[in-house]
């Protein structure tokens, strides 16, 4: 949710930290702050409401000298977004500063205890409680800052990724994590920390993924020591980052979201690379082949995910059941983790998460594993917590998704679930070799067919101008395209703030039809494949009530086109692959409506890219 970045080394910290904050801004952006220790050993904290740009303006005339510092971009959980609640937070003496991503659940109890010992607070945050607690531990136990951090964290319930600097020791940076991600970049006698790799990649590709309940102490001479909360030393494992700088830039696009929509053909090609064998016309996913028996024996698959990833999971259910005949249940991770679900050792849980850090999905994995299920993770971010917590899995390989509204990760998730279904079907022989070969042939065409779909961009832009007036939208689809209707509605809500609902088209007559009048735009996904005739009747029902119909149809369609006020054509494909194409015009429609309404599409209000709190 929040973004954290830190630096210790011989360079000036400020430019590195500010650049890092810009890269992390997609994670949270209601306020930002920075703390630096200068050569005179002054610890200065500057923070402000708003974006990183506002912070830069605020510090323009301030002293930002120093080679050690920490910085934070916030997504409010405790206390409204204002400069008092922004991070970093000082300790009572003004000697320590801390940044934090996560939630300290028992902060109220801790705060009351500290108040009774004479501590005062200047913010409403749980984070300020933590830094005061660390200082209190240090004073009351007369110990080092490292031991004080350890003692304080033992008293904390909740999730945290933290970084601390101490003006009495400007040669040391301390970081710790539990539940929220934290990565350490290891340079030549310098260290960077980040809540993901984006602020680090410019300076080094050597990284350490801090594990649960580990504390790292980094020194200016290049030494690093890692221990866990029980003080057991851990060997730092340095890995190589698979990320390059150009992936973090907008190229010639005005927004990351548009870039990511247009990157989908290439992203899906990369996603399928090495997995589709065009010679043997087969699919191979190492996560499945290496655990073949598990999949052959599986009695049930449970998919856990949130938001857009949950919509991908719903499409996955349709495809996996169709091709493999294994029953699939799709669960919101946040419900699954708390409702005492029936899980057995013959179940396979597929956890889907772009960020790989979604707290509810991580907790769902833990529950599944505790009950003996085998967990297959589908993540985009390499080395993320969910990827590491899963027994096996597949990465999406679409590169960093920066726009808050998920687009290319969604189509890659659906593609990966399709590959999983095809690979299991091959192993279980639930469909013929010939049929698999046909599907492989067609799947390989999908990136080019997305390219053709993207050609409608300018037309969609024109349609979007017409619909900026709308206060509500309805999205309808059936079968494989019902989850696409949900996803289209979510995309519109997220970035344009227009209320939108997705329904299975036939459900409309059970209630939502009452909403339809001449002002209501109704987006209907009506491809030739699947329940075309049925959807056609649903469209008639909307038309009869004067709803404005925007249809997504297969190229060459005439019947739906005639009934529609606006029509967008996608290339024909196998029924189970249609969602990968039909979602693309919906992504573009949301984007252009949001732009026409003057919204910040890459950083929509109240949202964050990586939801690391419950
Ligand atoms: C929507 C969106 C969210 C995420 C959800 C899960 O555009 O981005 O709904 O899909 O927060 O996130 P991940 O996939 O990172 O677990």
Cα 160 to averaged position of ligand 1 atoms, centre (Å): 20
Q: Determine the pLDDT at residue 28.
A: 67
Whole-number pLDDT of residue 399: 87
Instruction: Give me ligand 1 centre to Cα 609, in Å.
Output: 7
CA of 576 to the centre of ligand 1 (A): 23
The sheet with strand 96-104 has its strands ordered as: 89-90, 96-104, 158-166, 169-178, 214-219, 224-228, 233-234
| Least confident segment among 187-201, 236-250, 324-338, 572-586 | 236-250
Task: Find the 142 Cα to ligand 1 centroid distance in Å.
Answer: 45
Among 114-123, 249-258, 317-326, 338-347, where is mean pLDDT lowest? 249-258
Asked whether residue 342 carries a pLDDT value surpassing 90, the answer given is yes
pLDDT of residue 554: 97
What value does the mean pLDDT take over residues 400-419?
95
Tell whether the model's pLDDT for residue 27 goes beyond 80: no
Residues in contact with 266: Cβ distance below 8 Å, sequence separation at least 6, in sequence order = 447
403 Cβ below 6 A of ligand 1: no
Share of the chain above pLDDT 70, in %: 100
- Which ligand 1 atom sits closest to the C-alpha of 358? 16
Q: What is the pLDDT of residue 80?
A: 85
Active site residue 306: no
Looking at the predicted structure, is the pLDDT value of residue 454 above 70?
yes
Structure pTM? 0.84
- Segment 300-315 shows an average pLDDT of 98
**Does ligand 1 lie within 6 Å of residue 406's CB atom?**
yes
Mutate to test the pocket of ligand 1, among 356, 358, 387 (most ligand atoms within 8 A of CB): 358
Q: Is the CB of 496 under 6 A from ligand 1?
A: no
Residue with the smallest CA separation from ligand 1 atom 7 is 405
Mutate to test the pocket of ligand 1, among 180, 181, 309, 590 (most ligand atoms within 8 A of CB): 309
| CA–centroid distance, residue 305 to ligand 1 (Å) | 8
Q: Looking at 2, 306, 567, 576, which residue is catalytic? A: 2
DSSP 3-state of 21: helix
307 Cβ inside 6 Å of ligand 1 = yes
22 C-alpha vs ligand 1 centroid, how far in Å? 20
Average pLDDT of the chain, as a whole number? 94
- Nearest ligand 1 atom to the CA of 306 is 6
- Domains in the chain (CATH in brackets) are 3-247 (3.60.20.10), 250-452 (3.40.50.10490), 455-606 (3.40.50.10490)
The residue to mutate among 352, 406, 483, having the most atoms of ligand 1 within 8 angstroms of its beta carbon, is: 406
The closest residue, in CA terms, to atom 5 on ligand 1 is: 307
pLDDT in tens, 140-161: 999 999 999 999 999 999 889 9
Question: Atom 9 (ligand 1): residue with closest C-alpha?
Answer: 307
| Cα 449 to averaged position of ligand 1 atoms, centre (Å) | 25
Q: Which residues contact 280 (CB under 8 A, 6 or more apart)?
A: none
Write down the pLDDT at residue 247.
Answer: 78
Nearest CA residue ID for atom 10, ligand 1: 308
Residue owning the nearest CA to atom 16 of ligand 1: 353
Separation between Cα atoms, residue 278 and residue 270, nearest integer Å:
15
DSSP for 112-140 reads HHHHHTT---SSS-HHHHHHHHHHHHHHH
Average pLDDT over residues 305-334: 97
Distances (CA, A) of 487 to 408, 580, 590: 13, 12, 11
Q: What is the pLDDT of residues 569-610, one digit of tens each?
A: 999 999 999 999 999 999 999 999 999 999 999 988 888 777
Residue from 260, 307, 336, 492 whose mutation best tests the ligand 1 pocket (most atoms within 8 A of CB): 307
Rounded to the nearest angstrom, the distance between the alpha carbon of 404 and the centre of ligand 1 is 8
CA dist., res. 117 & res. 107, Å (int): 15
405 C-beta closer than 6 A to ligand 1: yes
Check whether 68 has a pLDDT greater than 90.
yes
Return all residues near 542 (Cβ < 8 A) that are at least 6 apart: 476, 508, 513, 516, 522, 524, 549
Helix axes 408-428, 433-454, angle to 10 degrees: 170
Can you give the pLDDT at residue 43? 97
Please tell me if the CB atom of residue 306 comes closer than 6 angstroms to any atom of ligand 1.
yes
Is it the case that residue 56 has pLDDT exceeding 80?
yes
Q: Are 70 and 218 in contact (CB under 8 A)?
A: no
Q: Which is it for the CA torsion 294, 295, 300, 305, positive or negative?
A: positive
State whether the Cα torsion 154-156-160-165 is positive or negative. Answer: negative
Residue 576 among the catalytic residues: no
| Pocket flag, ligand 1, residue 411 (CB < 6 Å) | no
* Residue pLDDT, tens place only, 173-208: 999 999 888 999 999 999 999 998 999 999 999 999
Measured CA angle at 457 (ends 454, 460), to 5 deg: 130
CA of 307 to the centre of ligand 1 (A): 5
* Catalytic entry in 47, 259, 491, 609: 609
Task: Report the atom number in ligand 1 closest to the C-alpha of 407.
Answer: 7
Query: What φ, ψ does residue 96 adopt, rounded to 5°?
Result: -115, 150
Dihedral pair phi/psi, residue 117, rounded to 5°:
-100, 10
Task: State which ligand 1 atom lies nearest to the alpha carbon of 413.
Answer: 14
Tens-digit pLDDT profile for residues 533-570: 888 888 999 998 999 999 999 999 999 999 999 999 99
Arithmetic mean of pLDDT, 495-503: 97
Q: Which of 261, 303, 308 to mutate to test the pocket of ligand 1 (most atoms within 8 A of CB)?
A: 308
| Alpha-carbon separation of residue 260 from 313, 457, 579 (angstroms) | 20, 14, 17
**Residue 26: predicted pLDDT:** 74
- CA-based end-to-end distance of the chain: 11
Q: Is 590 in the pocket of ligand 1 (CB under 6 A)?
A: no
């Amino acid at each position: 949710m929040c973004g954290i970045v830190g630096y210790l080394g011989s360079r000036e910290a400020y430019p590195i930290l500010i650049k890092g904050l810009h890269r992390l801004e997609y994670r949270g952006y209601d306020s930002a702050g920075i703390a630096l220790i200068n050569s005179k050993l002054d610890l200065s904290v500057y923070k402000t409401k708003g974006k990183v740009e506002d912070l830069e303006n605020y510090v323009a005339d301030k002293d930002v000298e120093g080679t050690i510092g920490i910085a934070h971009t916030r997504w409010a959980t405790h206390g409204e977004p204002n400069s008092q609640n922004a991070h970093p937070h000082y300790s009572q003496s003004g000697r320590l500063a801390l940044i934090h991503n996560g939630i300290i659940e028992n902060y109220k109890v801790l705060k009351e205890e500290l108040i009774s010992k004479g501590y005062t607070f200047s913010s409403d945050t749980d984070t300020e409680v933590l830094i005061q607690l660390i200082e209190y531990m240090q004073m009351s136990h007369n110990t080092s800052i490292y031991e004080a951090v350890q003692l304080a964290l033992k008293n904390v319930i909740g999730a945290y990724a933290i970084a601390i600097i101490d003006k009495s020791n400007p040669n040391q940076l301390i970081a710790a994590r539990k539940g929220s991600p934290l990565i350490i970049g290891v340079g030549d006698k310098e260290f960077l920390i980040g809540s993901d790799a984006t602020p680090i990649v410019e300076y080094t590709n050597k990284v350490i993924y801090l594990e649960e309940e580990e504390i790292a102490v980094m020194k200016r001479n290049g030494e690093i020591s890692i221990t866990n909360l029980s003080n057991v030393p851990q060997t730092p494992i340095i890995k190589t980052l698979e990320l390059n700088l150009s992936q973090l830039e907008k190229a010639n696009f005005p927004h990351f979201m548009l870039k990511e929509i247009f990157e989908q053909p290439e992203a899906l090609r990369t996603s399928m690379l090495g997995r589709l064998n065009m010679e043997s016309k087969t699919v191979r996913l190492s996560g499945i082949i290496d655990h073949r028996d598990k999949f052959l024996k599986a009695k049930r698959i449970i998919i856990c995910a949130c938001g857009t990833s949950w919509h991908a999971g719903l499409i996955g259910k349709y495809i996996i059941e169709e091709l493999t005949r294994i029953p699939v249940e799709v669960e919101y991770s946040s419900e699954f983790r708390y409702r005492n679900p029936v899980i057995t050792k013959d179940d396979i849980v597929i956890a889907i998460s772009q960020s790989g850090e979604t707290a509810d999905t991580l907790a769902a994995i833990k529950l599944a594993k505790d009950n003996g299920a085998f967990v297959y993770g589908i993540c985009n971010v390499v080395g993320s917590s969910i990827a590491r917590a899963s027994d096996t899995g597949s990465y999406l390989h679409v590169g960093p998704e920066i726009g808050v509204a998920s687009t290319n990760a969604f189509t890659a998730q659906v593609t990966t679930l399709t590959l999983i279904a095809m690979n299991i079907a091959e192993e279980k022989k639930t469909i013929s070799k010939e049929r698999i070969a046909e599907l492989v042939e067609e799947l390989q065409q999908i990136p080019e067919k997305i390219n053709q779909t993207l050609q409608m961009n300018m037309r969609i832009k024109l349609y979007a101008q017409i619909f900026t007036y709308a206060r509500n939208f309805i999205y309808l689809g059936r079968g494989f395209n019902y989850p696409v209707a949900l996803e289209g509605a979510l995309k519109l809500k997220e970035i344009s703030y227009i209320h939108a609902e997705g329904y299975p088209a036939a459900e409309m007559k059970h209630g939502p039809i009452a909403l339809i009048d001449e002002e209501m735009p109704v987006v209907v996904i009506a491809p030739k494949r699947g329940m075309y005739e049925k959807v056609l009747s649903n469209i008639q029902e909307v038309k009869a009530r004067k709803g404005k119909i925007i249809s997504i149809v297969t190229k060459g369609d005439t019947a739906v086109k005639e009934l529609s006020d606006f029509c967008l054509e996608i290339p024909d494909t196998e029924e189970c692959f249609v969602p990968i194409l039909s979602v693309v015009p919906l992504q573009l429609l949301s984007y252009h409506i949001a732009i026409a309404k003057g919204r910040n599409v890459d950083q929509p209000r109240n949202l964050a890219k990586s939801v690391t709190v419950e």
